[in-house]
């Protein structure tokens, strides 16, 4: 696949996400990932789509892959935290939110997410 075709798939997926056509965004984004699994921007967009569709295990996998490609990406830690929180992995989510907050302390969303999980509960799972 050429870079132009790949970029077109990525842009099509992002445009569908922006319009709220999340399920339809999966087709071009998954094709783009298959063609270029080492592109963090594609993994991020796909992770966001999976979060919106409540496909949390798949979102978790995408954000984990994104962090392998971009280990200091604050949004990847936040997205991973959101997926893990939804899966009931509060302790891991709390750690992800903490790292996101450390990398981008001015982000209110990260701060709120971390504070929300700041106190462990007896039901926390790793």
Residue range 46-87, pLDDT digits in tens: 999 999 999 999 999 999 999 999 999 999 999 999 999 999
Confidence of residue 3 (pLDDT cuts 50, 70, 90): confident
How does DSSP classify residue 118?
Answer: S
User: Quick one: which H or E segment has residue 25?
Assistant: helix 22-35
Which pLDDT value is given to residue 50? Answer: 98
- Looking at the whole model, is its pTM more than 0.85? yes
Q: How much is the pLDDT for 119?
A: 72
Q: Are 90 and 125 in contact (CB under 8 A)?
A: yes
Q: Could you give phi then psi for residue 31, rounded to 5 degrees?
A: -65, -40
pLDDT at 118: 85
């Amino acid at each position: 696949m050429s870079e132009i075709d790949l970029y077109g798939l990525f842009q099509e997926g992002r445009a569908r996400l922006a319009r709220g056509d999340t399920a339809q965004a999966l087709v071009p984004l998954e094709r783009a990932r298959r063609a270029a699994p080492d592109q963090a921007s594609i993994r991020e967009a796909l992770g966001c789509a999976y979060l919106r569709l409540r496909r949390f295990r798949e979102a978790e996998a995408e954000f984990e892959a994104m962090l392998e490609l971009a280990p200091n990406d604050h949004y990847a830690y936040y997205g991973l935290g959101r997926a893990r929180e939804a899966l009931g992995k509060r302790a891991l989510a709390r750690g992800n939110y903490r790292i996101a907050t450390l990398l981008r302390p001015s982000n209110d969303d990260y701060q709120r997410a971390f504070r929300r999980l700041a106190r462990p509960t007896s039901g926390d799972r790793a």
